[in-house]
Amino acid sequence: MGEVEVPRVESGFSEKTETDAGSDSSSFRLPAKDRFVVSFGSTVAWIVLWFLGQTWRIRVIGGEHHEKLVATGRPFIFSVWHDNILAALFWHRGRRIRPMVSHHRDGEMIAKLLTLFGYDPIRGSSTRGGNAAFREMVKELQAGKCGAIMPDGPRGPRHDYKPGTILIASRAGASLLPLTFDAEQKKVFRSWDRMKLPLPFARVLLRYGPPIDVPGMIEGATLETFRLSVQDTMNRLDDAASADLRAWVDSAP
């Protein structure tokens, strides 16, 4: 969905993202050597994550929230903390979800990884191609597509909900769908986000929160209050997923 940094989905937009001149998202191109590294690395990551995912024992809580949004056709954005992306990426593969992925070498790698898993990335960030990416995400959501953004990416601070995701949802008339996971056996990487990778045969608990409706044309103090509320909701969902996982493990024979 959209960075060990594995997926990097950018979302740090300000209000001026929609109107200020920015880089053309089509103008970014890696040197030939980096393109080879990106292609090779993303293919290896896809193979590893695919085979790991086949061994996971996955339990889903709150799946009715996702199912209801899909059934009603209401546009929505998966809202996933940076460290929680890997299980979500595997679980939602093959659905042509449109994650936002930034323009740099790591972003190129994750964009290719996402494509291999059946996603359709939108490229851009607040520094490269941001205006075009913002507009494209809004347009795709209004057309009924599903988006995905890691609101604390691409470089943190960890679990700091940047306002860009809320602004996009507000402009598009879309909801936010919080999603997290925890795993009984996992590797926690020594990165800024403490990315989690479930190990082979791990119990993996995915938890959706209720959809969050975003007011139209939100701005100023209202935006900041709303941002903090969504950030708190995301963190409480993390705690709930960890508690659910412990209960699952404790009840196992």
DSSP string over the chain: --------------GGGGTS----GGG----HHHHHHHHHHHHHHHHHHHHHHHH-EEEEESHHHHHHHHHHT--EEEE--GGGHHHHHHHTTTS--EEEE-SSHHHHHHHHHHHHTT--PEE--SSSSHHHHHHHHHHHHHTT--EEE-TTTTT--TT---THHHHHHHHHT-EEEEEEEEESSEEE-SSTT--EEEPTT-EEEEEEPPPEE--TT--HHHHHHHHHHHHHHHHHHHHHHHHHHHHHHHH--
Asked if residue 20 has pLDDT above 70, the reply is no
pLDDT tens-digit map of 118-128: 999 998 754 45
pLDDT tens-digit map of 96-105: 999 998 776 6
Among 77-81, 112-116, 120-124, name the one with the lowest average pLDDT.
120-124
pLDDT tens-digit map of 192-239: 999 999 999 999 999 999 999 999 999 999 999 999 999 999 999 999
pLDDT tens-digit map of 31-75: 666 777 888 989 999 999 999 999 999 999 999 999 999 999 999
Query: Can you list the domains of the chain with their CATH numbers?
Result: 15-251 (3.40.1130)
pLDDT tens-digit map of 133-174: 899 999 999 999 999 999 997 888 999 999 999 999 999 999
For residue 130, what pLDDT is reported? 66
Asked if residue 13 has pLDDT above 50, the reply is no
